[in-house]
Amino acid sequence: MGKGANMFLTDDDKYQALKHRNPKAEGSFVYCVLSTGIVCRPTCSSRLALRKNIKYYQNVEEAIHDSFRPCKRCKPDVPTEWNPQNNFVIKSCNMIYEYASSKTSLDIDEIIKELKISKWYFYRTFKIYTHMTPRMFYKQCLKGTYQVANVPMIQTKRDAIKKKEIVQSICQETKEYLHDLSTDKILQCI
Ligand SMILES: [Zn+2]
């Protein structure tokens, strides 16, 4: 999360951000509409719900955990270019790197517990950013052939060809994690 995280502390601040669809609020919080059970980004183009029907969460994972469904319009569960996911991928790379450099066996459960995300979401996002599974990354770290600083990160939406290749590689290489995911669905995720 960036600097913006501290700008929207109160419900008033948050509601003002929703009213203006303030892009700076992206990544700071999400909002849920109690009457529809939907979770949205602060910048969602849907008509703003009544204030009394709105509940805020720090992130979409928490909202989904509380049974809210991601909005089909603003797709709060899908990484975009401002990418808060960037942070947790970097963090997890560092953690895996630590495991490898201390010659400890990799404990994925420990990592996802620390990051407070689901296993499926972790595998999917890690792969999208690094082109590797966490275990592949761990092995490369063990061999000393990978530096955390070299992890390729998707920064923008513009790099379409690269993304398509990544998607294809996700489909081919991580079937064990992504049984029920079609290429189209993955494409929507990036
Ligand atoms: Zn929405």
* In a domain? residue 80: no
Res 158: pLDDT: 47
SS3 string, 24-57, reads HHCCCCEEEECCCCEEECCCCCCCCCCHHHEEEE
Q: DSSP H helical segments within 22-107, as ranges?
A: 60-65, 85-101
Residue 178 backbone phi and psi in degrees, to 5: -125, 40
- In the three-class reduction of DSSP (H, G, I as helix; E, B as strand; rest coil), residue 15 is classed as helix
**Residue 93 among the catalytic residues:** no
Question: Looking at residue 157, what DSSP letter applies?
Answer: S
Q: Indicate whether 45 and 104 sit together in one domain.
A: no
- Do 40 and 68 contact (CB within 8 A), yes or no? no
Residues 89 and 158 in one domain: yes
Distance 67 CA to ligand 1 centre (A): 15
64 and 89 co-located in one domain: no
Predicted pLDDT at 125:
85
Q: Does 71 participate in catalysis according to the annotation?
A: yes
Q: Let me know whether 134 and 163 are in one domain.
A: yes
> Residue 156: what pLDDT?
46
Q: Residue 41 Cα, ligand 1 centroid: separation in angstroms? A: 6
Ligand 1 mean position to 148 CA, how many Å?
34
Q: Which of 80, 83, 78, 178 is nearest to 127 (CA)?
A: 178
Determine whether 40 is an active site residue: yes
DSSP-derived pairing of the beta strands 69-70 and 38-40: parallel
Q: Which residue(s) pair with 55 in the sheet?
A: 32
Instruction: Confirm whether 79 is domain-assigned.
Output: no
Pick the catalytic residue from 32, 40, 93, 141. 40
Classify residue 94: in a domain, yes or no. yes
Q: pTM value?
A: 0.43
Q: Say if residue 65 is in the same domain as residue 125.
A: no
CA dist., res. 188 & res. 169, Å (int): 15
pLDDT of residue 179: 45
CATH of residue 41:
3.40.10.10
Q: What is the mean pLDDT of each run of 10 residues along the chain (190 residues)?
A: 61 92 82 96 88 94 94 81 65 86 92 89 85 89 70 51 58 49 48
CA of 42 to the centre of ligand 1 (A): 8
Three-state SS at 33: strand
Please, what's the largest Cα pairwise distance for the chain?
Answer: 55
Integer Cα distance of 2 and 86 in angstroms: 11
pLDDT at 56: 97
Annotated active-site residue in 71, 93, 141, 189: 71
Range of the domain at 125: 85-189
- Pair (91, 137) in one structural domain: yes
Q: How confident is the model at residue 165, as a pLDDT? A: 60
The closest of 103, 102, 121 to 111, measured between CA atoms, is: 121
